[in-house]
Amino acid sequence: MSVICLLCKEREVYYIKSHLTPAGITENIYGKRNEELIYTIDAQNKNVDKYFGRDYPQNETIEIKDAPNARKGIFCKKCETDFGTYEDAVQNKLNGLINGIGNSTIGYKTKLEVKYSCIDIHPNILITFLLSVLWRQCTEQVLDNKDNPLNLEQFEKLRNLVLENISISLKDIVQKEVIEKPKITIFSTYKSRIEPSYANPHPKNTNPLIFFIGPIVLLYWLNDKITDEFAKITLINQNILVDELTLDKSKIGIINQGDWRKIHNVVAKILVKHFLE
Ligand SMILES: [Zn+2]
């Protein structure tokens, strides 16, 4: 593995464990840090694996493994610190909002009757954080020799965008024009803690592309043309794909638990199919 940081491609890496999808955001699903239980399915290599955090209560044999969503020595100290600054600015607040969906959050509806909540975080901070997460997911796909939903040019463009934005301080980034490109939409559901979720890109390439980030589903627009039969392929209601709901307005769509399960079930079925091929 290269000893140069994968983000800045300039400075040397330092050997600390980096979470590719930040632990803070998946904590809702996997459990607290070191108490996680994570399943990984590798359809290509026909391998299903289980990972227990160090402190996960269990009776099975404890085999020491690397956490599937973390790598050592891929980022330099500066980039890792910059990731951390944005994670700290977003994660607790966003998790709090998601955990409170249906209780403490004030619900609104779009013209097409999609429910949403407003996130009390500046869009540039939210967008920078989430772009950094999906760039890291794509990086993980590459490191694991799996499909990267972004082609080389798109992947490099995203890297530059993440690098450029994440090195700007929080104080300065809110003074900049709101980031409108790439367009992003996010949504979650009620009681996401007990609902299925993933930390990986959708196995089908659509526009917008779909990324699962624990309790958040993120739609990443490559351009304005929605894939034909998007809703049929993904079971994501197209009413959510409206400009009224994009993240440059700090909004998060909310769908019901039944629809959430169907969307996640599609992915499970695709993986099972690949697995059995
Ligand atoms: Zn770096």
Which helix (H) or strand (E) segment is 254 a member of? strand 251-255
Q: Can you tell me the mean pLDDT for 234-260?
A: 95
Q: How far apart are CA 143 and CA 147, in angstroms?
A: 10
- What lies within 8 Å, CB to CB, of 141 at 6+ separation is 147, 148, 149, 200, 201
Q: How far apart are CA 92 and CA 97, in angstroms?
A: 9
C-alpha 138 – ligand 1 centre gap (Å): 17
C-alpha 265 – ligand 1 centre gap (Å): 37
Selected residue with higher pLDDT from 15 and 42? 15
pLDDT above 80 for 27 = no
C-alpha 83 – ligand 1 centre gap (Å): 10
Q: How far from each other are the two terminal CA atoms of the chain, in whole angstroms?
A: 31
55-80 pLDDT tens trace:
666 555 555 555 556 677 889 999 99
What proportion of the chain, given as a percentage, has pLDDT over 70? 80
- Give SS3 for 48: strand
C-alpha 155 – ligand 1 centre gap (Å): 16
pLDDT bin (cut points 50, 70, 90) of residue 184 is: very high
Distances from the Cα of 257 to the Cα of 39, 166, 263, angstroms: 21, 33, 10
C-alpha 267 – ligand 1 centre gap (Å): 33
C-alpha 35 – ligand 1 centre gap (Å): 29
pLDDT bin (cut points 50, 70, 90) of residue 192 is: confident
Count of alpha carbons within 13 angstroms of residue 135, beta-carbon side: 25
C-alpha 16 – ligand 1 centre gap (Å): 13
126-179 pLDDT tens trace:
999 999 999 999 999 998 888 899 999 999 999 999 999 999 999 999 999 999
216-227 pLDDT tens trace:
999 999 999 999
Burial (0-12, 13-18, 19+ Cβ within 10 Å), 30: buried
pLDDT bin (cut points 50, 70, 90) of residue 16 is: confident
C-alpha 58 – ligand 1 centre gap (Å): 38
C-alpha 25 – ligand 1 centre gap (Å): 22
C-alpha 164 – ligand 1 centre gap (Å): 11
- Of the candidates 256, 266, 195, 206, the one whose C-alpha atom is nearest the C-alpha of residue 230 is 206
C-alpha 76 – ligand 1 centre gap (Å): 4
Q: How far apart are CA 20 and CA 66, in angstroms?
A: 13
Domain boundaries, the chain: 77-276
Count of alpha carbons within 13 angstroms of residue 101, beta-carbon side: 26
Selected residue with higher pLDDT from 10 and 17? 10
DSSP state of 5: -
Q: How confident is the model at residue 272, as a pLDDT?
A: 76
C-alpha 269 – ligand 1 centre gap (Å): 37
Q: Virtual CA dihedral for 90, 96, 99, 100, nearest 10 degrees?
A: -130
pLDDT bin (cut points 50, 70, 90) of residue 22 is: confident
C-alpha 60 – ligand 1 centre gap (Å): 39
Q: How far apart are CA 268 and CA 274, in angstroms?
A: 10
What is the pTM (predicted TM-score) of this model?
Answer: 0.85
Structure tokens at 256: 């019901």
Q: Are strands 216-220 and 184-189 parallel, antiparallel or unpaired?
A: antiparallel
- CB-CB neighbours of 179 under 10 Å: 20
C-alpha 163 – ligand 1 centre gap (Å): 8
* Residue 113 Cα to chain centre, angstroms: 25
C-alpha 176 – ligand 1 centre gap (Å): 23
pLDDT bin (cut points 50, 70, 90) of residue 212 is: very high
Q: How confident is the model at residue 88, as a pLDDT?
A: 94
Q: How confident is the model at residue 51, as a pLDDT?
A: 59
Query: Are the CB atoms for 29 and 197 separated by under 8 Å?
Result: yes
C-alpha 103 – ligand 1 centre gap (Å): 40
C-alpha 175 – ligand 1 centre gap (Å): 24
Report residue 40: phi and psi, to 5°.
-120, 140
90-138 pLDDT tens trace:
999 999 999 988 876 667 899 999 999 999 999 999 999 999 999 999 9
C-alpha 71 – ligand 1 centre gap (Å): 15
